[in-house]
Amino acid sequence: MDAPEAQPLRVLMTTDTVGGVWQHSVELSRALSDWGHRVVLVALGPPPTPRQRAEAHAVRGLVLQVHSGALEWMHEPWDEVRRTGDWLLAQATRLRPDVVHLNQFAFGALPFDAPTLVVAHSCVLSWWQGVHGEAAPPQWDRYRAAVRAGLEGAGAIAAPTRAMLAAVGRHHGVHRHGHVLPNGRDPRRFVVGTKRPHVLSAGRLWDPAKNLDALRAAAPALPAPWQVRVAGPVCGPDGQSVDAGPLEVLGPLPPNSMARAYAAAAIYALPARYEPFGQTALEAALSGCALVLGDIDSLRELWEGAALFVPPDDASALGRALAGLADDEPQRRALALAARARALRFTPHAMASAYLSLYRTLLRDRARHPPRVPPVGGPAPLPPGAAQTPASSF
């Protein structure tokens, strides 16, 4: 597929190494690179794993830079967030990108010369509401202020679903026009294998939003020989952990092994309390799994008519849904076919085309968003000891 625009762009894109934002960023960078655009991908947070570095280096023309440090949603991150912001400004001054694409909020307030896009993949306030059923406590007020400043300072804001975009406005009081830019995955990386009596779930298992407890409670309802398997980390970057027993824990899997787990699973269960997009549900659908999902706005938005939905707080309903599908192969097959047909809409090139359209709009509107003047003295230099791969220009 050819690029919708011939003129190549230079994009400075931030990502992080925790969760689905990394995979999204690499997939988008690959699609942009296929069309001749140049991307410098800046990995923030914990250092990339060897597997993540290999994924990035496999993208033709992609330049990976690494700046390790606390992310804005972590415990007391603000000194490190400030240093990261200074470093990002220095990189942007050196690289002179056409667009700065930020997959974190706080950096939207920085005075980049290039137009900026902030993408809301998730946020603590909407996560807290989804998981705990109430507003986040005052201890998150500094986070609130930083997110709002980033949203107000950005040239444009976007989210992967209408539900997440609405949550940004509701929780942060920023009611400007936003853009819905769904994620995408390459269907060639997933296969529909011979299905076994497996229910699979995957992701950051330590995150209570994934609702592993409901899956644990529902598992005994499945008839023999069905089993529930879970893939992903059980410990989080701030020491969070979860007990996955009696489920079969596969742990974090490399992409090829994860694809095999999807291929073998007849059912994919994601009874999420909070999920702004649901990358793993998309991957499972591409692999021919029948989907059983938490009944929340974002998952309804994407999968209405192609999945079964269960209330996240009703483990008994989850158990009944899983057991019913286990005993009904025709329904499993019909749901799997519907889910795969829906998933094939979310291709990397469809995603890249939507992002490119917004990048072009930002550039055309640049006269209405003139470059802001950096503080006197310019950004601070790279802090001593900060890790990065050797810098490379566009």
Domain boundaries, the chain: 10-184+347-368, 187-343
Residue-level pLDDT at 40 = 98
Residue-level pLDDT at 368 = 58
Which of 41-45, 251-255, 330-334, 374-378 is the least confident region? Answer: 374-378
Residue-level pLDDT at 350 = 97
The reply to whether omega before 246 is within 30° of 0 (cis) is yes
Residue-level pLDDT at 385 = 36
Angle at which helices 141-153 and 124-132 cross, to 10°: 130
d(CA 326, CA 334): 13
Q: Render 211-229 in DSSP notation, one character per residue.
A: -HHHHHHHGGGSPTT-EEE
Residue-level pLDDT at 4 = 52
**Side-chain half-sphere CA neighbours of 153 within 13 A:** 22
Tens digits of residue pLDDT in 305-329: 999 999 999 999 999 999 999 999 9
pLDDT surpasses 50 at 387: no
- Percent of the chain clearing pLDDT 70 (strictly above): 92
Nearest by Cα to 157 from 197, 111, 91, 105: 105
Give the residue, 368 or 99, on which the prediction is more confident.
Answer: 99
- Percent of the chain clearing pLDDT 90 (strictly above): 84
Residue-level pLDDT at 236 = 76
Residue-level pLDDT at 239 = 72
d(CA 363, CA 335): 42
Q: What pTM, to 2 d.p., does this model score?
A: 0.90
Q: Which residues pair with 238 in a beta bridge?
A: none
pLDDT surpasses 80 at 124: yes
10-184+347-368 carries CATH number 2.70.98.10: no
CATH of the domain spanning 187-343:
3.40.50.2000
pLDDT surpasses 80 at 377: no
10-184+347-368 and 187-343 share one CATH topology? yes
